[in-house]
Amino acid sequence: MILDIQRFLQSAKPIWKELGELLDYLEQDPDPQWDLNQTEKFYRLYQQTSAHLSEVRHLTAERELRGYLEQLVARSYARIYVRRAEKNRARWWQWFTAAFPAAVRRHSMALALSVGLFLLGCVFGAAALKIDPSSKTALLPFGHGQTSPTARVKKEMEDRGKRISQARGRFSAQLMTHNTQVAFFTLGLGMTFGLGTIILLFYNGVILGAVAVDYVSDGQAVFLMGWILPHGSVEIPAILLAGQAGLVLGHALIGWGNRLPRRLRLRAVLPDLVTMAGGVALLLVWAGIIESFFSQYHEPVVPYALKIAFGVVELCALALFLARGGANEGAV
Amino acid sequence: MKALYNQPKLELQTPEGMEFSLPLAGPVSRLLALWIDLAVVMVAGAMIQRALGVLAAVSADAAQGLMTVMYFVVSLLYGILCEWLWQGQTVGKRMMGIRVMDRDGLPIHVSQIVVRNLLRPVDMLPMFYLVGGMVALASRYGQRVGDKAANTVVVYSRQVEPPDWQKLLAGKFNSMLEHPHLAARLRQRVSPELAGVALDALVRRDQLDDGARVELFRELAERLRQMVEFPAEAVEALSDEQYVRNTVEILYRSR
């Protein structure tokens, strides 16, 4: 077909102009209160312009016109086929108390694997230090490898929390931001087909296992529990949940047992990943506050029994929250 | 000069079967946008530090702690909030005229925004976005790791202005139609086969490389010129390709 471009432009220009104006309006207000007639008009203009694009597609000399029409069609398409967010958005509180635990439960296999890898790391770290005590400096970070647990306990008892009380705010902030970065990084490494996440989970387990053996061997098991449990009962599960999210991401990439294309598999898990990441971040804020303002105070300032009991209660509450949260609201 | 980087396009098809494409943002635009965004975050950090200077007088520890948290929150939430509020754009992306979109050409969903920003630290490995840059350069759609996870692409978002209609029409004036008796003679003399070849050459013009195209239109124009001689003032300014185009219009145009 040889197009009479003059006649074509004469009839089509008003349609393109009107569609362009509607698109400008829609891009300012993505959710306009349009009635059926307005919506139908928009869709009709889009269809007409699509047809015009089809007509000029073979007019090689009309690159400029084609580009203009392609953009009109692309902008219309993005407005017509947009995936709208659900209108009944959960409230923040409801999101944390119901959607977050429900998302965790939906991927219980990944959580089990995350816990398993961490425990395996613990066993490895404990065994490594037991078999070769000289590996302590290599295994333990943050200067723990340079001193004996008994010496540290003595120092903490003499200090009576004075050192930390001068920098609680800064210490708490550093813990929160550092732990959140580690957690998100653990999640993000799911993009290495889960391999990076597996390594980080295992490595964190190795550190905890080695620290535990170091303190228990030195007769400081009670101090260790009093030190770790108040914040660790939330911080460690938070890292495990981040690992779970990373494994979910890795699984979506690999696609075992799922024949959908990769991008659809990834798209399916995105909302849960976001929910889990948000939940983990909140847990780590809590853990950061507890670690700075409570965990670092030892006897005689705070009795170990109280700290251990606090940690156990937290752990039980967290387990109950993740197991039951939102179950009655149909969020599972 | 031949460009080192050929701008790829994201080819899409609407459910109605219409094909269109979106120009994908190039690495330079994205890098500049990133630098601008880093500068914005740094300026925001400096402003927070200034604002917290008052608090430091009361408690230096609280001020430093708050500064650490605020800077972290700003650097994390800056990209998320901007892309959410500005439909896939940050300050840097706005300035560079680029936008994050769904891989299917649709506006991005909030979960996609969060995931592509959360995965930024992976893209930054081991330093200076090396992983992200390498992955994006190797990717068909220029996707960094975060884009691949979130199923997003970065495209140019500058609005294409309507073409200059007068210019568009001016080029379409067919001087040969000013001589209807010669046009009629041309219709009589050109065989259907030759007319088909000329039409085909125009339709497939973009599939030919430059040299072959020039040669093909030269030969076609030469044959067509021999069939009917138009006055010099009607054809002297026409290129070979335009001569063939005008002829095809005469042959196929409904009278």
Q: Does A58 touch chain B (CB under 8 A)?
A: yes
Q: Are residues A147 and A203 in the same domain?
A: yes
CA distances from B145 to A266, B1, B84, B130, B131 (A): 12, 32, 19, 11, 8
DSSP for B53-121, please give it. Answer: HHHHHH-HHHHHHHHHHHHHHHHHHHHHHHHHHTTS--HHHHHHTEEEEETTSSPPPHHHHHHHHHTHH
Q: Are residues A316 and A188 in the same domain?
A: yes
Q: Are residues A111 and A28 in the same domain?
A: no
Tens-place pLDDT, residues B125-153: 988 899 999 999 999 999 999 999 999 99
Using CA coordinates, name the residue in chain B closest to A166.
Answer: B61
Domain boundary among A57, A80, A103: A80
Chain B residues within 8 A of A17 when measuring between CB atoms: 162
Chain B residues within 8 A of A73 when measuring between CB atoms: 14, 18, 20
- Say what the pLDDT of residue A332 is: 45
Higher pLDDT among residues B93 and B187, named by residue: B93
A87 inside domain: no
Say which of B64, B159, B169 has its CB closest to residue A5: B169
Q: Is the pLDDT of residue A196 over 60?
A: yes
Q: Are residues A306 and A188 in the same domain?
A: yes
Q: Is the pLDDT of residue B97 over 90?
A: yes
Least reliable range by pLDDT among A2-6, A76-80, A317-321, B174-178: A2-6
CA distance A289 to A253: 35
CA distance B174 to B160: 28
Question: Which structure tokens are listed for A194?
Answer: 């889960």
CA distances from B109 to A67, A221, B37, B82 (A): 26, 49, 21, 13
Q: Are residues A192 and A57 in the same domain?
A: no
- Say what the pLDDT of residue B14 is: 86
Q: Are residues A184 and A54 in the same domain?
A: no
* Domain residue ranges of chain B, discontinuous segments joined by +: 9-156, 165-252
| Domain, as residue range, for A73 | 5-80
Domain boundary among A50, A80, A110: A80
Say which of B69, B101, B149 has its CB closest to residue A173: B69
Q: Are residues A173 and A293 in the same domain?
A: yes
A45 inside domain: yes
A128 inside domain: yes
Least reliable range by pLDDT among B92-96, B169-173, B185-189: B169-173
| ipTM of the complex model | 0.86
The mean per-residue pLDDT over the stretch A167-176 comes to 84
Q: Are residues A306 and A241 in the same domain?
A: yes
Chain A residues within 8 A of B110 when measuring between CB atoms: 85, 274
CA distance B234 to B63: 81
Q: Are residues A183 and A318 in the same domain?
A: yes
CB pairs under 8 A between A and B: 157
Apex CA B196: angle with CA B193 and CA B198, to 5°? 110
- Say what the pLDDT of residue A302 is: 87
Least reliable range by pLDDT among A204-218, B113-127, B159-173: B159-173
Higher pLDDT among residues A148 and A118, named by residue: A118
Split into its structural domains, chain A has a count of 2
A48 inside domain: yes
Say which of A20, A74, A184 has its CB closest to residue B118: A184
A331 inside domain: no
Q: Which of A24, A29, A92, A170 to mutate: most B Cβ within 10 Å?
A: A170
User: Among residues of chain A, what percentage have pLDDT more than 70?
Assistant: 91
Q: Which of B24, B70, B85, B118 to mutate: most A Cβ within 10 Å?
A: B118
Q: Are residues A48 and A173 in the same domain?
A: no
Question: Which structure tokens are listed for A283?
Answer: 């847990």
Q: Are residues A173 and A105 in the same domain?
A: yes
CB within 8 Å: A74 and B20: yes
Q: At what angle do helices B27-51 and B60-85 cross, to 10 degrees?
A: 140
Q: What is the DSSP letter of B24?
A: B
Say which of A13, A58, A271 has its CB closest to residue B165: A13
Q: Are residues A117 and A20 in the same domain?
A: no
Apex CA B170: angle with CA B169 and CA B176, to 5°? 105
Q: Is the pLDDT of residue B159 over 70?
A: yes
- Say what the pLDDT of residue B204 is: 78
Question: Which structure tokens are listed for A221?
Answer: 């098991």
CA distance A240 to A174: 20
The mean per-residue pLDDT over the stretch A26-45 comes to 86
A201 inside domain: yes
Domain boundary among A36, A53, A80: A80
